[in-house]
Structures are given as C-alpha cells and as structure tokens.
Structure 1
Amino acid sequence: MLSVSILTIGDEILIGQIINTNASWIAQKCLEVGATVVEHRVVGDSQNEIIDGVDDLLKKSDVVLITGGLGPTSDDLTKPTLAKYFQDTLIFNEEVLEWIKEFYKKRGINEVSERNRNLANLPSKCKPLKNEFGTAPGMLFEHNGKILVSMPGVPKEMKFIMETHILPLLKSKIVSEKKEAHIFVTLQTCGIPESVLADKLSGVESVLNGLNLAFLPSYKGVRLRIEAKGLPIDLAEHQIEQVKSFIYSKVGDYVYGEGEVTLAETVGKMLEERGETVAVAESCTGGLLGGEFTKISGSSKYFLGGIIAYSNEIKSVHLGISTETLSKYGAVSQETAIEMAYNVRKKFNSTYGISITGIAGPTGGTPKKPVGTVWIGLSTPNETFAKLHQFGGDREINRERSVASALTMLFFLLKGLEL
C-alpha cells in the first residue's frame, strides 16, 4: 500500500486557535484514491521541530504531505527549512515569477513587490507546483524513493494543489506500481434511524467479501462507509460497487448522495431539475437553512430567499402571522409554523415554503414546551402542514438538527416518500 503522512505546520494549529480542517480533508482525499494515511502530526513554527517531523515521517511513509509555513513573511519557515533538510540552496525561478505576475495581473495589479518576488526563490531540488489561488507555489521533492510535498496552509490553495497535482500522482503510483489499495466510499442517508437502517441492511455480509461497512450516525443522518483495504485497486473498486448495489436495492430511497455532497445540494438539484423553487421563514435557526442553500453556487435558480422572523412583531409585520395565532398558540406551535410556511410561499411566489420555529435553548423552555421543541412547516401548492420535533438541550445542535430535519422533509416530499 502507498502510505501517506500529513504534517501540519503552525503555532496557531498547535495551540488550538485554528481547527486543523486541512488534515481531515487531505486524509479523506488520499483514501479516495487508494492511499493509506498512517499518521497526522502538528508542529509549531520552529525549524528544529519541522526538520524532526519531516525526518521521522519520511522513515515511516512513502509520501509526506506538508501544509503551512509558505508565504512572504518572516514566520514562514517551511521553504528555508526544507532547503536545509535536503542540503539544498534557494535559486530564483523565472517560471514561478511569471505565475506570481499572472496572479496579480488578473487582479489589476501590475507591480510585484520585492517581498512577493522572493516567493520565486525555491530550493533547486524541488519541482514547483502552480497555485492558481495564491502566490506561494507548492513544492515537490523526491528523495530516496520517497515523495515530500509542501503546500500553503490556506485551504483553497491547498485543495487546488492537491486536486491538480498530488491526487493524480498518488493514484498513478498505486496503479503503475500495482500497490494494494485502501479506498472507501461514503453513502449519505437521511430520515432513517441507525437501528432501522441496520435492520433493512441485514444480509449485507453476504456481499462484503472482506470489505468493511461502518454505520456513522450524526444528527444530520447516518453515513454508510464502505472500506476496502489490502486489495488491488481494480478489485477493490469492483467489490465496493457490489456492496453499493446491495445498499441501493434495500435503502436507496434514503440515500441522498455519495462522498461529501450535502442534503441541500441534492435538494437543490432536484428542485432545479423540476423547475421548482423554495423560500424559507426562520425563527430559532436565524438564517441557517437559507445559508445551506446559498452556500451552493447557482442556488438562485431555485432558492428565492427568506425571512428571519425572530420576534413576534416581525412574524406579524413581515410574515403576516395573525396576532390571534401568536397570542392563542404561541410562536412555537403547529399553527404558527403552518402560517409561516404558507405565508412565505405566497410572499415569494415560490413552489414550496419551509418554516422553522422552536426553542433552541438553553433558556426559554417550559414544562409543556421544553428546550428542543421545534415545529417545522412545509407548504406546497396543494397542502400546508407542520411536524413536531423534540430535540435535546444543546442550542447549536438543536439549530443544526432543525435545518437537517427541514431539508429531509423537503427531500422526502420531492421523492414522493411518506413524511
């Protein structure tokens, strides 16, 4: 198997000021192409720590992927440190300078500062990797049959270099050297509890053939991870497809996508294909549902907008919720959720209207309406209804679960499933 270690450089990561999302993303992408991640490590902005980390990880793995410490400032130590480790010198690379000039020219800047010109000084033994989203290039070293790659810590820049240069390289090495693969596929489900999912998938053992199927529950749904390890990549991919076919035959209605696709993306695609639209009215989620849609490029084709109606006055004035409904039943009620969903659909002239009103906590609960009580309304051209959800006591989780439940309701409706 092709083994990979991930080395993250930066005091801000080490002390917890920034969450190390880069390592998580890199590890998942490496597994997708069949490489095995054997270690994650974080070191501070110290030349000695970086050298010790590189030296140790190169002994343990075929590939070391580094993020962080590349840039124009004095605390960006990775480049001189790697030059020292490989007993190399920095040389000026004209091609990299042209990349930097091109980057600034696209942004209307014709002059490159001396500080940024210095980014073209690279170790002579490295292969520069073009960075379309920044000025610091990646660097690829080959050393005693091992590969070391250094990339910027900015996620967008790192992802471009990984997807453009590194992932294809890793996959080609696995195929050309006939290495055993370690790959997995994740199926995303919603609206079905883990226990019910397990019951419906009874008998899956007959098609696993040594593969592993993991049930990974969260408040958004259950992920099914199919993992193949220690097989030739072609055989691994074939066996994974067999397991996928079994899963789809049993619970395909609940699977909304594969990999990192979000439920909002799937729902949005379904709406776009049908030529339909949605608008939202949110109270306790404060725009989170609308935010899930607007994260997606092109979502204006199906997401028309929304109203954050947190106070009763705003619910009444801007959503047209009757004062009688609010005084008689309260803001967190079936009746209010129904009016919110119906009125936002009418106001935006959308195909569907979704509403969320609830008590996210930690305060505001009562014996009859405890923290975690959430009503979610859904209005269509034919009917308007609301469903009650009783979540737990954590405010942020309640808000996230409310959004996931609202998207699940619309997903089920679009698929013609029982709500």
Structure 2
Amino acid sequence: MTAEIITIGDEILIGQIVDSNSAFIAKELNLIGISVYQITSVQDEKAHIRTTLAEASKRADIIILTGGLGPTKDDVTKYTFAEFFEDQLVLNEKVLGHIEELFSKYKKTPISDLNREQAMLPSKAVPLHNKYGTAPGMWMEKDGKVFISLPGVPYEMMQLMEGEVIPRLQQKFHRPYIYHKTILTQGEGESAIANRLAAFEEKLPSHIKLAYLPDLGSVRLRLSGKGEHEEELISAVEKQVEGLYELLGDIIAEEQEEDEKIAVQISKLLTSQKKFLSAAESCTGGALAAEFTTHPGASSCFIGGMVSYATNVKSENLGVPKDLIEKYSVVSAEVAEAMAKHAKKMFRTDYALSTTGNAGPTKGDSDAEVGTVYIGLATPEKIYSKKFIFGNSRDQVVKQTVQKAFEMILKEIS
C-alpha cells in the first residue's frame, strides 16, 4: 500500500515557506501502515497539477494533495480536480451552511461571493468537513485509486487528516503493520558506525531496513519493519536491536520514541523528577529557550531565561561580577559558570544552563577566536563548564551550542 503526496503552491517552490505539511501527512500515513512512495511540489498551474496527478496515479494507491483551495484566483486545485475527473462543480448546501456559520461567528466582514464559491465542489467528490476553515477537503476515487485534496493551512490540514482522512483510509484498505525502533548513539560519526555495521546490514531480513539519521554530535539508528503479523514483526525487529547492542554497546546512549527530540527527553526527565531548569544565554540569543519551549509540556519544568547578550547586561542584570569579566573576558569558563550560577539563583531552579561565546563573524567584546563557546551548567551539587570550538559559521555555532548544552543537562539528569 503506497501513497504519494503533492503539495501545491508557488510559495513553496520559491522558498517563501517550508513544506511542513508533507512531513506530517507522511508520519500519519506511516503510523497506519501506508508507505509514502514520493513527495512532489508543483506550481499553482492547472496543466502542471493535471500532469502530476496522472503520473502519481501510476505509482501510488493513494494520492493526497495539499494547497490551492483558497478563495483567490491563484487557487486552482479544485477546478483542476474537476477537470481531471471529467466532472463539474456543483453547490454543496451543507458546506455553504458551514461557511456562513463561520462568518457569522468569527468574521467582522460580510461573506463574499468568493467565499460562497468555496462551497462549489466536484459532483463526484465526498466533502471532508473542515471545522476550522472555509475550504472543505475532498475525497474522490478513480480506477481503484483514492485521491484526496486538503487545504494547505497546516492546522486545517492536520485536523482533516486526523478526523477525516485517516479513519476513512483505515476503513477502506487492508494495511500491513509497520514497526520502528530508534537507537540514539553518541561519540562516533555516521561513516564510522556504518563501517562497524556493514556485516550486520548485509544479514538484515528483507522486511527490515536500517536508516542512519545523523544530527549534531549524535546519530540515530532506526530499524523499520513491515509485515502482516504485528507480534511476529515486533519480535523480529527487537531481535535486530539486540544485535545493535552487541556491536555498538559502547556508543549507544538510549532507545527513543520515533523522532523524539533531545529537548523532549530532557523535559520528560525533569518533569518526572519534579526538577526545574532555567537559562542565561549570550551567544545563542534565546535559541536555547526557544528550542526547549517549542515542544508541549515544557512549562512543567522550564521556568524562564535571560538573554544577556550585551556585556553590561551580564553584570548589571544577571549579576555576574564586573571584575570577573574584566579578568577573564566575557568568553570564558569563569563567566559561563557565573552566568549559570546567577540564573539558577534568579529563577530559583534546580538546574541552569548558560552560553557565552563568539558566534561571529567578528570577535565582539572578547579576543576569543570566532567559534569559541563556553557552556555552563549549575546543578544542585556543583557548577561547571565546557569549552567548544564550533567553526566560523554563525548559524552552526548557535545550533551546535544549543545541542551540546542539551547533551550536558541530559547526561546530568539521566
């Protein structure tokens, strides 16, 4: 059982927005045993969309489109859909009633003819209720293939996938089981690990695959199995996991839920331990706090942070002694540790992280080379710091600093 995802919109192709819809759809499909064969992005142009639909129908059993369902002239998906199925648009009274209800409840402007036109759907389409927006989803079938059109607005698409599409696909198709197991390794790069696993990969059963997912300072190894019998499949994958431990036991950090970020792991551990974290950031400019609070549940353990970017803010607001900065410079182990110490005290937390360094392109208030970073960590028992050299790419310096800071706190609380 395979699916193909088609995202429609010039804004994706010119890099104005990132296509996050495909990632969500693919993950949801994978959870119910449907493999995504291909993801394609196309222009808001009828001929391009028609050609892509025709090609996708040769490769996949399920074709899902997102985007191009708005009320403006550049939204042509619905009209192209009708042409592809040699169908015509007709007014759907139920959809129109929903649009009118949304306007009466939430809009200050009167409903327009363009908005009413969104209730015009191909006569053969099954409308999918979009409770958050005016553009309904559409379900159509042709030659044993299922075609689904969804709005491009992420929260509308997500609701339709979870509430309409997934239940219908589960009911219509018999699907195999898919089981993933992810192992986090630290300390060796992707190529070194691949060399150690060469013989292991050659002996893997055909229904189990190994994927390498490298990140800053770590590599996740994902074993994915597909089969008709769930218990047998899980047993087969777990047997291969044992083999990974035998070969890589010295660098395996832990087993993870699929795609679980390190910030989520930290949050779960701190919450279970009823401990709290704060941060004092300089070179990361708030990126550490932003990454941590992106994930649900962070409020249960992350109290807050201070972006002490300027040197005087470190002393006047955070409380780092001026003479300490003058003696050791703003980019130093001593200042990093003082920042963590005062953040822990200021926010009354059990742990505090700090970052100070030169992210570039100039040296700023320190003579330390660009890429030099100190990360401080205050715990209930001690305060310490580590020095890193992350190169001369400003973006990578910030990202690697956040990653290493998270690794430091994770190791401390695990």
Common fold, TM-score beyond 0.5?
yes
Q: Give the match's secondary structure for 1:406.
A: helix
After superposition, the Cα gap between the structure-2 partners of 1:289 and 1:102, relative to the gap in structure 1 and judged at 3 Å, is farther
Q: Give the match's secondary structure for 2:326.
A: helix
> CA–CA distance in 2 between the matches of 1:323 and 1:403?
26
After superposition, the Cα gap between the structure-2 partners of 1:401 and 1:104, relative to the gap in structure 1 and judged at 3 Å, is farther
Deviation of residue 8 (structure 1)?
1.8
> CA–CA distance in 1 between the matches of 2:252 and 2:101?
48
Query: Which of these residues, 217, 222, 227, is aligned with residue 219 of structure 2?
Result: 222
- Indicate conservation of the 8 Å contact 1:280/1:305, yes or no: yes
Q: Give the match's secondary structure for 2:291.
A: helix
Deviations 1:138-169, CA, capped at 9 Å, x for gaps: 11101111000111112222222223333344
Match of residue 189 from structure 2: 194
> CA–CA distance in 2 between the matches of 1:93 and 1:109?
24
- Greater mean alpha carbon deviation, residues 157-166 or residues 370-379: 157-166
> CA–CA distance in 2 between the matches of 1:302 and 1:194?
32
For 1:332-371, list aligned pairs within 5 A.
Answer: 332-364=331-363, 369-371=368-370
After superposition, the Cα gap between the structure-2 partners of 1:164 and 1:242, relative to the gap in structure 1 and judged at 3 Å, is farther
> CA–CA distance in 2 between the matches of 1:52 and 1:134?
28
After superposition, the Cα gap between the structure-2 partners of 1:165 and 1:204, relative to the gap in structure 1 and judged at 3 Å, is farther
Match of residue 377 from structure 2: 378
Match of residue 132 from structure 1: 131
After superposition, the Cα gap between the structure-2 partners of 1:411 and 1:106, relative to the gap in structure 1 and judged at 3 Å, is farther
Deviation of residue 301 (structure 1)?
2.4
Deviations 1:234-285, CA, capped at 9 Å, x for gaps: 3444433444466579479723632232211221122122211111000010
- Indicate conservation of the 8 Å contact 1:190/1:222, yes or no: yes
Q: Which amino acid aligns with 1:217?
A: P
Deviation of residue 392 (structure 1)?
2.2
> CA–CA distance in 1 between the matches of 2:272 and 2:296?
15
> CA–CA distance in 1 between the matches of 2:15 and 2:53?
22
> CA–CA distance in 1 between the matches of 2:93 and 2:242?
52
Deviation of residue 54 (structure 1)?
1.1
Query: Which of these residues, 234, 239, 247, is aligned with residue 236 of structure 2?
Result: 239
Q: Which amino acid aligns with 1:391?
A: F
> CA–CA distance in 1 between the matches of 2:263 and 2:219?
16
> CA–CA distance in 2 between the matches of 1:190 and 1:355?
25
Q: Does 1:209 align with 2:208?
A: no
Deviation of residue 302 (structure 1)?
1.4
Q: Give the match's secondary structure for 1:139.
A: strand
After superposition, the Cα gap between the structure-2 partners of 1:272 and 1:126, relative to the gap in structure 1 and judged at 3 Å, is same
> CA–CA distance in 2 between the matches of 1:103 and 1:260?
36
After superposition, the Cα gap between the structure-2 partners of 1:292 and 1:366, relative to the gap in structure 1 and judged at 3 Å, is closer
- Indicate conservation of the 8 Å contact 1:51/1:81, yes or no: yes
After superposition, the Cα gap between the structure-2 partners of 1:172 and 1:332, relative to the gap in structure 1 and judged at 3 Å, is farther
- Indicate conservation of the 8 Å contact 1:256/1:266, yes or no: no
> CA–CA distance in 2 between the matches of 1:113 and 1:244?
58
Gaps of at least 5 residues in structure 2 are: none
Deviation of residue 225 (structure 1)?
1.7
Deviation of residue 217 (structure 1)?
1.2
Identity %: 37
- Indicate conservation of the 8 Å contact 1:65/1:148, yes or no: yes
> CA–CA distance in 1 between the matches of 2:199 and 2:373?
37
> CA–CA distance in 1 between the matches of 2:154 and 2:19?
10
After superposition, the Cα gap between the structure-2 partners of 1:97 and 1:188, relative to the gap in structure 1 and judged at 3 Å, is farther
> CA–CA distance in 1 between the matches of 2:391 and 2:365?
14
> CA–CA distance in 1 between the matches of 2:5 and 2:363?
45
- Greater mean alpha carbon deviation, residues 374-383 or residues 87-96: 87-96
Match of residue 38 from structure 2: 39
Match of residue 94 from structure 2: 95
Match of residue 326 from structure 2: 327
Q: Which amino acid aligns with 1:43?
A: V
Deviation of residue 35 (structure 1)?
2.2
Deviation of residue 133 (structure 1)?
3.1
After superposition, the Cα gap between the structure-2 partners of 1:202 and 1:90, relative to the gap in structure 1 and judged at 3 Å, is closer
> CA–CA distance in 2 between the matches of 1:122 and 1:204?
53
> CA–CA distance in 2 between the matches of 1:188 and 1:22?
26
- Greater mean alpha carbon deviation, residues 234-243 or residues 275-284: 234-243
- Indicate conservation of the 8 Å contact 1:192/1:254, yes or no: no
> CA–CA distance in 2 between the matches of 1:166 and 1:244?
33
- Indicate conservation of the 8 Å contact 1:31/1:184, yes or no: no
> CA–CA distance in 2 between the matches of 1:165 and 1:123?
18
- Indicate conservation of the 8 Å contact 2:374/2:385, yes or no: yes
Match of residue 16 from structure 2: 17
Question: How much is the aligned-residue C-alpha RMSD, in angstroms?
Answer: 3.0
Structure 1 stretches (4+) deviating beyond 6 angstroms? Answer: 195-203, 365-368
After superposition, the Cα gap between the structure-2 partners of 1:205 and 1:55, relative to the gap in structure 1 and judged at 3 Å, is closer
Match of residue 269 from structure 1: 268
Deviation of residue 41 (structure 1)?
2.3
